[in-house]
Amino acid sequence: MSGTSLLFQQLRRKQPKSPPRLSAGVALGLCFFLSLGAILTQDPVALGCLSVANLALLFVHRLDRQVLVRGGRVCLWQGGMVTALYVLRYGMAQGLMPGLRISWQLLLVFLPGLILLSGDSGSRMLNALGKILPARSAFVLTTSLKFLPLLLTEISAIYEAQRLRGARIRPRDQLWPGHWGDLLHCLVAPVVVRALEIADNISCAARTREFGRFPRRTCWPDDQET
């Protein structure tokens, strides 16, 4: 199945047996303000409150646990890298706590979006965004958001395929600068090419479906959902 087919399958997939308890519009607003709060504040107490709010959103909003686990691994890796760089730059005494705080903030910035992407279908998001944005802008934004999980899947497939071919692209391989060429030619370049190919296929599919002919597009299967 092509990347475009996978994307449109995500955009029009049926709701799970246990649908999200929150409407797409409410979830979108909550995620926006939670991420904005994590960007604006540096107070540990405020960050703790935001963490509790994110945990409550995780409990209330239905989500795909596999996506959450994958995202959690990325956040942990990112947090470890940020903390390590702060420790290397400022030393253990002065760099550890600021590094952990910045890592905490980054986690709280990206976690609400991860919850939203894994818990809501494309049609629900499109309906919610269509109430505040023009139909074309709502479609582009929804497709862009749903494009990210698809791109992560493509990156994982390319990574595994290149590893089987003997490419030295594992994280520990990158400790040696001589292996950076493999990372560029065997992973970065194919991912960029694949992303451009999928984007072009999506554009062709939208034109084939005469996108833009009508002022308001309909969504299947949950057009009537608010």
pLDDT tens column, 20-49: 667 777 778 888 899 999 999 888 899 999
Task: Write out pLDDT tens, residues 66-88.
Answer: 766 777 777 777 888 888 889 88
103 and 79 within one domain: yes
The dihedral sign for the CA sequence 17, 51, 73, 10: positive
Q: Are 32 and 93 in a shared domain?
A: yes
Domain presence at residue 93: yes
The reported pLDDT for the residue numbered 68 is 66
User: Per the domain annotation, does 124 fall within a domain?
Assistant: no
Which one of 90-104, 114-128, 169-183 scores highest in mean pLDDT? 90-104
Model's pTM, two decimal places? Answer: 0.62
Q: Are residues 225 and 158 in the same domain?
A: yes
pLDDT at 63: 64
Asked if 26 and 100 count as a contact pair (C-beta separation under 8 A), the reply is: no
Task: Please indicate, yes or no, whether residues 139 and 46 belong to a single structural domain of this protein.
Answer: no
Sign of the Cα torsion 127, 128, 129, 130 reads: positive
Residues 9 and 26 in one domain: no
Taking the C-alpha atoms of residue 36 and residue 96, their distance in angstroms, rounded to an integer, is 24
Of 57, 91, 119, which one is at a domain's C-terminal end? 119
Residue 199 lies in a domain: yes
Binning pLDDT at 50, 70 and 90, where does residue 220 land? low
* Structural domain includes residue 210: yes
For the chain, give the mean pLDDT: 78
**Residues 83 and 62 placed together within one structural domain of the fold:** yes
Residues 128 and 24: beta-carbon distance below 8 Å: yes
Task: Identify whether the C-beta of residue 106 lies closer than 8 Å to the C-beta of residue 79.
Answer: yes
Helix (H, G, I), strand (E, B) or coil at 16: coil
Query: Residue 124: exposed, middle, or buried by beta-carbon count in 10 A (0-12, 13-18, 19+)?
Result: buried
Question: Does 56 lie in the same domain as 9?
Answer: no
Query: Is residue 10 domain-shared with residue 38, that is, in the same domain?
Result: no
> How many domains does the structure of the chain reveal?
2
Is residue 147 domain-shared with residue 114, that is, in the same domain?
no
Q: Tell whether 53 and 89 lie within a shared domain.
A: yes
Whether residue 9 sits in one domain with residue 26: no
Same domain? For 1 and 29 the reply is: no
Query: Is residue 165 in a domain?
Result: yes
Domain limits for position 177: 1-15+129-226
